[in-house]
A and B are shown apart, each in its own frame.
Chain A
């Protein structure tokens, strides 16, 4: 592998990892803080993409589409937490899995009714549609680079919010000791609803911003949810930092695995997860 190809693949791995991070960060917050295994997280990703597609189709503006998708998913997340998830905190994981699995079915059917089973796509906005050559043949579109930068900025912003703000402090405290936080007078119900809404909005954003790069199609959420859980488990449940490094690790391992070990690429990421579980069962960045 030449140096230039190596660098191209490193960028590909980082780019994939950063998108994974956006999805997994919401998942790990919801899982870590609220103790909810949200199987419908992938469906949120799919809905984000479809809403963005719908808005882009009618308005022609991708910016509007992404904003609309984020707002829709945040609102939807808030309502779902208040109406459904909020009733399940004292129930066991099986009940939560059942209801979030039910949500997948509902969202998949809603998607089919509203948008049909066709495959859709949105063009890359003209301002970012050009690309630059990284080798004599290979090029990167500016939109791909733009998405990568936006994801990186969001990751840093999230780290700052979690580490430096009062809200972040509550979230961290909530992740380690729920009862203590509520006894300190924090409105834990509102905090949970906000965290759930933020998680849905983040993954909706990931879906929306990916639309010009991917195809909008039924079942697109199913593929992403499993790999996102792998990231969460590797990084440590509830840890944003863990989700970040877990996502980059998986992004790079998957990218290089495909090229260097194609026969094993489909289970390479699971092998890494198994290895991490053996070595550090709590994940790389969770407190023991």
Chain B
């Protein structure tokens, strides 16, 4: 953990705040003249290192539009590597809040870790901004006025695929995923959408996380002969699943459907085996929107890397925070007004404009994408303005 504070930076911060006060900003309460501290709790090592980096980089990019400030106040980032380790989630979050006195807790990628952050955010009332982790509970039974998410709920991207599959004439589908929170919630979303229309889940296959030995289950699927297969896998597992599926000859007779993460960031590894796979997700690289094109160009210029969905979500988290703090002019004490402004904000995201649901999760378009020539091509909107049902959430907005 590195706390990047020096006397000089502190003086600069104070100076900036004094300058702001002189130009007619409202007077801050004592202790509000310093910088706004954002505790960045993201994975900076391990499997999710790239995702953590993208989510943090894009946040910084979003704030450069306002001169790297929030509501006119300078921002200080305090970074902490959460190592995608759920066991240390609560302790790490507590450390940022109690020891580093952060005003905003920002993170993370892993759904298990975010549950620990949610717990601490609920206890302390600190603003929690989630730029990826889709754990349903965070904007469901455990939703709170101070918990916001700029990404998705695990239920959201796969739900519209149920209708897509049904409309394609598929009636009997086998689902497969890793047996862990995100996987089970994603399969739940698809199953809900598909069975509501009369589709039937022939078999639900769950393999231990993060196991990549799929051969036995592929043989089983071949013998079940479903109309289609719906899966949730990501990263290395997704690359291997798609290759194994094609190599086992299943692709020719049983279409493969997935939550969009199946083909995010791994298309090059999957190669020809991924051609024709249909997925649903709230973003696609080549979305034909001016905001998207500008964002991708800016991101590439700033970090010399192609932006991905994790960057988009981090960027939108930054926009959401900027909108909230602009309304209260950087006053971290005005919590009610801050949350109200964030709830009311319309985010001009690279994925398309969105607003937040009462549970503080994006109400967003879910795109239907097909892999064509190594690209996730958008072929339509699978569901317009989809909101997570937020079951168990008592917030009324």
Contacts and interface: CB of A to CB of B under 8 A. Distances in A.
Interface of A: 1-2, 5, 8-9, 12-13, 15-16, 112, 116-121, 123-124, 131, 133, 135-141, 143-144, 213-220, 223, 254-256, 258-259, 262, 265-266
A5 B216 CA distance: 10
A1 B224 CA distance: 11
B201 interface: no
Given A119-B269, A138-B248, A266 B208 contact: yes
Given A254-B213, A255-B216, A256-B216, A220 B223 contact: no
Contacts of B240: 214-215
Contact of A123 (B49, B225, B271): B271
A55 to B, nearest CB: 17
Nearest to A7: B219
Interface stretch (B74-82, B249-257, B276-284, B349-357): B249-257
Contacts of A258: 207, 213, 216-217, 220
Contact of B239 (A121, A141, A143): A121
Interface residues of B, number: 43
B332 to A, nearest CB: 35
Contact of A219 (B47, B208, B225): B47
Given A121-B270, A135-B223, A15 B215 contact: yes
A139 B235 contact: no
B205 A2 contact: no
Given A119-B269, A255-B215, A255-B216, A217 B49 contact: no
Contact of A217 (B235, B248, B270): B235
B171 interface: no
Nearest to A212: B243
A137 B239 contact: no
B206 A141 contact: no
The winner among A2, A118, A215, A259 for most chain B CB atoms within 10 A is A215
B41 interface: no
Given A141-B247, A213-B243, A213-B247, A16 B47 contact: no
Nearest to A12: B215
Contacts of B249: 131, 133, 137-139
A135 B239 contact: no
Interface string B247-275: 11110011000000000011011111000
- A interface, over-half SS: mixed
A144 B246 CA distance: 13
A215 B50 CA distance: 17
B26 interface: no
A12 B268 CA distance: 27
A9 B221 CA distance: 12
B250 A119 contact: no
Given A112-B49, A137-B253, A214-B212, A265 B269 contact: no
B222 A135 contact: yes
**Which of A119, A120, A262 has the largest number of chain B CB atoms within 10 A?**
A119
Most chain A C-beta atoms within 10 Å of own C-beta, residue among B265, B268, B269:
B269
A254 B214 CA distance: 11
Interface of B: 46-47, 49-50, 179, 205-208, 210-213, 215-220, 222-223, 225, 235-240, 243-244, 247-250, 253-254, 265-266, 268-272
Nearest to B53: A117
B215 A259 contact: no
B269 A121 contact: yes
B314 to A, nearest CB: 17
Given A119-B265, A121-B270, A138-B222, A219 B247 contact: no
A265 B208 contact: yes
B50 A118 contact: yes
A66 to B, nearest CB: 18
B216 A119 contact: no
Given A119-B236, A217-B235, A217-B239, A137 B250 contact: yes
A219 B46 contact: yes
Given A117-B50, A256-B216, 14 more contacts: A5-B223, A15-B215, A16-B215, A118-B265, A119-B238, A133-B249, A137-B250, A138-B248, A139-B247, A214-B212, A215-B237, A219-B236, A220-B236, A262-B207
18 contacts: A116-B50, A117-B47, A119-B239, A121-B239, A121-B243, A121-B269, A131-B249, A136-B253, A137-B223, A138-B249, A140-B248, A215-B266, A218-B236, A219-B210, A254-B213, A255-B216, A265-B208, A266-B179
A117 B46 CA distance: 8
Nearest to B239: A215
A116 B237 CA distance: 17
A135 B222 CA distance: 8
A135 B221 CA distance: 12
B94 to A, nearest CB: 27
B219 A119 contact: no
Contacts of B266: 119, 215
Nearest to A8: B219
Contacts of A5: 219-220, 223
A259 B236 contact: no
A8 B208 CA distance: 22
A143 B248 CA distance: 11
A137 B222 CA distance: 6
Contacts of A259: 216-217, 219-220
Contacts of B254: 137
Nearest to A123: B271
A266 B210 CA distance: 11
Contacts of A215: 212, 236-237, 239-240, 243, 266, 269
Lowest 7 CB-CB distances: which A-B pairs, in order?
A139-B249, A217-B236, A215-B239, A138-B222, A121-B269, A266-B208, A137-B222
Contacts of B46: 218-219
Contacts of A217: 47, 235-236, 239
B225 A137 contact: yes
A265 B247 contact: no
B262 to A, nearest CB: 12
